[in-house]
């Protein structure tokens, strides 16, 4: 066992940390306030190789280990978890192709992302199918060498700006999860309508839209895997991306803790810094130990992927624990700031709003518990 | 015309670290400290990369002296884009003349057209190595290469660079910081340049750069193999923190302030 970062990991962390500190953080409040899309920041991240981390070397990608991706994700989320969500959205959308695409499909759908700055969106959730993925109503009907797609997708990150979509739809909704397949949709084909940007509570730098498909034609060769394999591809993708989402919680909570420590040391009440009061100290101590625990749990879930092991259980532990931990840590950070914490003049209320989303997206904390319980109770 | 440039990458304490004097009072507590490439050296690496890019490529060779830990700083320079690293393996105290001696031997071996060093390292702020080195090599020298503006905006970048080589690589023009302004020198090549803070803003080490750096060579030497006497001629006898700043005072009115400035501060 070894818990220390290798020299390579330290170097990658250093670049991500510097980028988060110097590029993301100074703009975080602005993009939170305006809810505009931080395109130039994401483009700069692309130039440094901080997005598209999963693309295989065979098609010109960097193919970082899952542990390396997790280390980087913490730093990006420390900078701004809204921006980080939009950055990692590319990896989430490209993962199904990495995991299940043919060699030709990887050349066609992944390589362009290494050559120029492009955005991709992952389209799984629907208005009526959130946690219940198998209840999706978006359909694809085969007509010759094309599928004709009809339906709606909801909460699609970067959808307004995406150059490519990884879409999950069903050949027959009655077949539930067995009817789902994965299609790559390039550009803006006829019949695809992008809805308006959602006015979200937190992670406001991240673009979130609905997509409507009306008789959208997608070539059969854009199908990733076979018909009926979509559900498995989606679940494998989420197993791969769950450590990154958990790391967003760690980075977000670490930012809150650092602000809280700085503030507690300088804020004077009753003639001394509030950091001298045990009530404050205990909140800080809980934050620090729980952030560390969440980080180690998440590292293990990423490490398992690198070792070629199934990580469903541990990554669900990580996502559940980290997301709930971040909600608590950021709420306590606001508490330590008192009235100032509730004001938008100070940075911690944003972190609290941002943390809430991590308990919801990519499998709610409740779904993670269901997954954990299912793994615990299955078999003899 | 491709150009070969030698640069340095000293391992120094991170400026964000809290430095404490050790119990013996002859050094600092190293435990828990973070280390970085000397920021002035990093500016030198950046300038070298820009010059090679401008002159149709070439080589940037980065040198560091110290224990194997300095590989971290060499790798950083390689990740930024340097082509080759040289590690002078040495444990124990070092003085400025030993470092300049090692660099002299390496320059005689590598034969670069130009050497760019940080004007000083942020750990002991000696500001000596570049000057010794130029003198011993018999090269021209231009210290404190700088620019007017502290941060590089797009407008600043498009202005004249502070270090400019002639197309035939026979001469170099360097804008340098002097008391009260800037002065421009024209030097014959080969030349040694030391960098000041405002010269440029170093690039980030990109992730592909970091991965590529792993396969770039690090050549190993020792002061002995270079024929340099590494025995330090300087001994640190005592190290102490500067005295803590005293708290300020409040004066009731302007008259009292003027009085204090006259009688206590004696500046009026």
pLDDT tens for each residue of A258-307: 999 999 999 999 999 999 999 999 999 999 999 999 999 999 999 999 99
Q: How many domains does chain A have?
A: 3
If asked whether residues A299 and A273 sit together in one domain, one would say: yes
- Report the pLDDT value the prediction gives residue B241, as an integer from 0 to 100: 86
Same domain (yes/no): A220, A283: no
Highest mean pLDDT among A1-15, A321-335, B154-168 belongs to A321-335
ipTM rounded to 2 decimals: 0.86
Q: Are residues A153 and A235 in the same domain?
A: no
| Segments forming the whole domain that contains residue A174 | 120-227
Classify residue A1: in a domain, yes or no. no
Q: A235 with A98, same domain?
A: no
A49 touches chain B (CB under 8 A): yes
The pTM is what? 0.89
The predicted pLDDT at position B147 comes to 83
CATH label of the domain that carries residue A152? 2.40.110.10
Domains belonging to chain B, first-starting first, are 3-263 (3.40.50.620)
Residue B162 pLDDT greater than 90, yes or no:
no
Among A9-13, A60-64, B242-246, whose mean pLDDT is lowest? Answer: B242-246
Query: Does the beta-carbon distance from B210 to A15 stay under 8 Å?
Result: yes
- List residues bridging with A148 in a β-sheet: A141, A217
Contact A48/B at CB under 8 A = yes
Same domain, A241 and A263: yes
Q: Are both A310 and A361 inside the same structural domain?
A: yes
Closest CA to B187 of B176, B199, B173: B173
Best residue in B152, B210, B212, B214 for a mutation probing chain A (most A CBs within 10 Å): B210
Burial class (CB in 10 A: 0-12, 13-18, 19+), A172: middle
Question: What percentage of chain B has pLDDT greater than the value 90?
Answer: 67
Contact across the interface for A7 and B208, Cβ inside 8 Å: no
Residues A153 and A182 in one domain: yes
C-alpha–C-alpha distance, residues A187 and A281, integer Å: 53
Helices A365-377, A312-337: inter-axial angle, 10-degree rounding: 140
| Test mutation, A20, A40, A48, A55, chain B, max B CBs within 10 A | A48
Domain assignment present for A2? no
Out of A227, A252, A267, pick the residue that ends a domain.
A227
Residues A223 and A236 in one domain: no
Domain end point (choices A65, A85, A115): A115
> Hey, is the C-beta of A188 within 8 angstroms of any chain B C-beta?
no
Sign of CA dihedral B65, B66, B68, B73: negative
- Specify whether A82 is located in the same domain as A21: yes
Q: How confident is the model at residue B40 (pLDDT cuts 50, 70, 90)?
A: very high
Has residue B151 got a pLDDT over 60? no
pLDDT of B154 over the 80 cut: no
Distance CA A77, CA A24 (A): 9
| Alpha-carbon gap: B154 to the closest alpha carbon of chain A (Å) | 15
Do A269 and A311 lie in a common domain? yes
Q: Which residues sit opposite A151 in a β-bridge? A: A213
Pair A241, A333 in one domain: yes
**Which residues does chain A have within 8 Å of residue B76's beta carbon, measured at their own beta carbons?**
11, 14
Q: Is residue A34 part of a domain?
A: yes
Q: At CB < 8 Å, which residues of chain B contact A?
A: 71-72, 75-76, 79, 204-211, 213-214
CB contact under 8 A, B204 and A19: yes
* Residue that finishes a domain, picked among A202, A227, A252: A227
Do A124 and A197 have their domain in common?
A: yes
């Amino acid at each position: 066992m070894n818990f220390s970062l290798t020299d390579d990991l330290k170097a990658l962390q250093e670049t991500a940390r510097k980028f988060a500190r110097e590029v993301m953080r100074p703009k975080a409040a602005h993009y939170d306030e305006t809810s505009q899309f931080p395109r130039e920041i994401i483009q700069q991240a692309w130039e440094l190789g901080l997005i598209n981390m999963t693309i295989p070397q065979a098609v010109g990608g960097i193919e970082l280990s899952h542990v390396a991706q997790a280390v980087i994700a913490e730093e990006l989320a420390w900078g701004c978890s809204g921006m980080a969500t939009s950055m990692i959205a590319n990896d989430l959308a490209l993962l199904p192709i990495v995991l299940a695409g043919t060699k030709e499909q990887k050349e066609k759908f992944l390589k362009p992302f290494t050559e120029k700055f492009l955005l991709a969106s992952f389209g799984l959730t629907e208005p009526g199918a959130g946690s219940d993925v198998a209840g999706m109503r978006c359909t694809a009907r085969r007509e010759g060498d094309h599928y004709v797609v009809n339906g709606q997708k909801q909460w699609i990150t970067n959808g307004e700006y995406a150059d490519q979509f990884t879409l999950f739809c069903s050949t027959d909704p009655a077949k539930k999860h067995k009817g789902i397949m994965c299609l790559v949709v390039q550009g803006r084909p006829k019949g695809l309508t992008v809805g308006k940007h959602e006015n979200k509570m937190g992670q406001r730098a991240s673009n979130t839209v609905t997509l409507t498909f009306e008789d959208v034609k997608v070539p059969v060769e854009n199908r990733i895997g076979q018909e009926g394999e979509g559900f498995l591809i989606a679940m494998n993708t989420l197993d791969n991306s769950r450590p990154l989402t958990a790391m967003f919680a760690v980075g977000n909570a670490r930012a809150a803790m650092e602000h809280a420590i700085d503030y507690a040391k300088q804020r004077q009440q009753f003639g001394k810094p509030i950091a001298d009061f045990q009530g404050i100290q205990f909140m800080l101590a809980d934050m620090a130990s729980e952030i560390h625990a969440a980080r180690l749990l998440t590292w293990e879930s990423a490490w398992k992927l690198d070792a070629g092991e199934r990580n469903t259980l541990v990554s669900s532990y990580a996502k559940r624990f980290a997301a709930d931990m971040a909600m608590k840590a950021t709420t306590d950070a606001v508490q330590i700031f008192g009235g100032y914490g509730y004001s938008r003049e100070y940075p911690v209320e944003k972190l609290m709003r941002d943390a809430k989303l991590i308990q919801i997206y990519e499998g709610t904390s409740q779904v993670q518990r269901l997954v954990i319980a299912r793994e615990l109770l299955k078999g003899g | 015309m491709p150009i070969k440039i030698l640069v340095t990458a000293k391992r120094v304490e991170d400026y964000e670290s809290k430095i404490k004097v050790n119990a013996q009072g002859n050094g600092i507590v190293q435990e828990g400290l973070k280390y970085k490439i000397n920021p002035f050296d990093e500016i030198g690496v950046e300038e070298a990369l820009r010059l090679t890019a401008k002159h149709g490529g070439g080589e940037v060779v980065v040198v560091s002296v110290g224990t194997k830990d300095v590989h971290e700083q060499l790798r950083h320079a390689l990740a930024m884009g340097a082509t080759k690293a040289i590690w002078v393996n040495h444990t124990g105290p070092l003085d400025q003349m030993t470092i300049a001696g090692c660099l002299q031997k390496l320059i005689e071996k590598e034969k670069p057209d130009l050497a760019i060093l940080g004007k000083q390292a942020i750990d002991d702020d000696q500001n000596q190595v570049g000057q010794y080195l130029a003198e011993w090599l018999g090269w021209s020298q231009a210290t404190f290469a700088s620019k007017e503006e502290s941060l590089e905006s797009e407008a600043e970048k498009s202005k004249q660079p502070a270090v400019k080589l002639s197309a035939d690589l026979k001469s170099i023009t360097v804008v340098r910081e002097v008391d009260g302004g800037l002065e421009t020198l024209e030097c014959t090549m080969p030349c040694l340049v030391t960098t000041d803070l405002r010269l440029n803003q170093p690039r980030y080490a990109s992730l592909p750069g970091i991965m590529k750096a792993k396969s770039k060579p690090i050549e190993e030497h020792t002061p002995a193999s270079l024929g340099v006497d590494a025995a330090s001629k300087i001994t640190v006898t005592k190290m102490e923190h500067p005295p803590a700043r005293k708290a300020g005072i409040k004066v009731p009115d302007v008259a009292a302030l003027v009085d204090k400035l006259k009688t206590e501060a004696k500046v009026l």
